[in-house]
Structure 1
Amino acid sequence: MTERDRSDEPEGDTAAHQPRAPRHSVFLSATVEHFGAKAPTKHRVRDLSVGGVRIDQAAGLRPGATVLVSVGALAAVGATVVWARDGIAGLKFAEPIDPEAARAKAAVAPQPFRGQPRDLGSAGPTAGWVPNLNSPYRR
């Protein structure tokens, strides 16, 4: 991958003179909402910075298009598709974001199954029918 492919900024003389924001290689997903009749699409985030993002599975994106992007835990932010080729696209955010906030985990405790005690400290099984094995309400 060349440095030019990694950029989410426009090509040309103006991009060469501006310092780039640091890129963070992350394991996040993004949802891109297209204006018009298209349904939202899911993408894997390759790089994330304060000013933009590079995503995979970008076959339907065209340079110059305006979209709404939700990255990780962040709410949707406006973005412009700067470049798209070989299934990868670079998007520039309309306003700066906080990459650390995008990586934040949700702080929501899972709800217990019906009939289970509310003891969140137990390390018992949590999948399938096993959690309900000792439930007095099971059939």
Structure 2
Amino acid sequence: MSGVDTRHIPRDSLFLMATVRLAGDDAEHRVKVRNLSAGGMMAEGDLRVERGSRLAVELRAVGWVDGVVAWVQDKRFGIAFSDEIDPKAVRAPVTTGDARAPRYTRPAGLPGADASRLRKL
């Protein structure tokens, strides 16, 4: 990673989960995404990483993205992506066509659904 200060680049604060795989290790680790930009993200988790470690992160609606650990502080660390992504795609609402989406994120009123089977809260 270069010594260029990129803190001025716009980033979105958000909270979602992602999967991280360290280079040379098939184990997958769940981390919280704290903020995200086209060029990188801040992650938080119990994964022990070092600055300069190569890894890949799986982001919803984007897929696997290669990157390098830019900084580490306690359980938080920054990842600089090898290629820019579209951060808006990651934040986009979950669609009904995404079979991997948890049931509670899918709308209840799907076309063709029997409304008499829905319960009022």
Partner of 1:40: 28
Gap runs ≥5 in structure 1: 1-8, 111-117, 126-139
Partner of residue 22 from structure 1, selected from 10, 21, 29: 10
Question: What is the CA deviation profile of residues 28-65 of structure 1, one whole-angstrom value per residue up to 9, with x for unaligned ones?
Answer: 11110112235110001101001100011154111101
Partner of residue 112 from structure 2, selected from 105, 113, 119: 119
- Runs of 4+, deviation exceeding 2 Å: none
Q: Which of the two has greater strand per residue? A: 2
**Contact 2:14–2:34 under 8 Å retained in 1:** yes
Q: Secondary structure at the match of 1:76?
A: strand
Gap runs ≥5 in structure 2: 100-110
**Contact 1:28–1:44 under 8 Å retained in 2:** yes
Q: How does the TM-score come out when normalised to structure 1?
A: 0.66
Q: How many residues align?
A: 107
Q: How many Å separate the matches in 1 of 2:67 and 2:45?
A: 17
Q: How does 1:63-74 map onto structure 2 within 5 Å?
A: 63-74=51-62
Q: Computing the radius of gyration over CA atoms, which structure comes out larger, 1 or 2?
A: 1
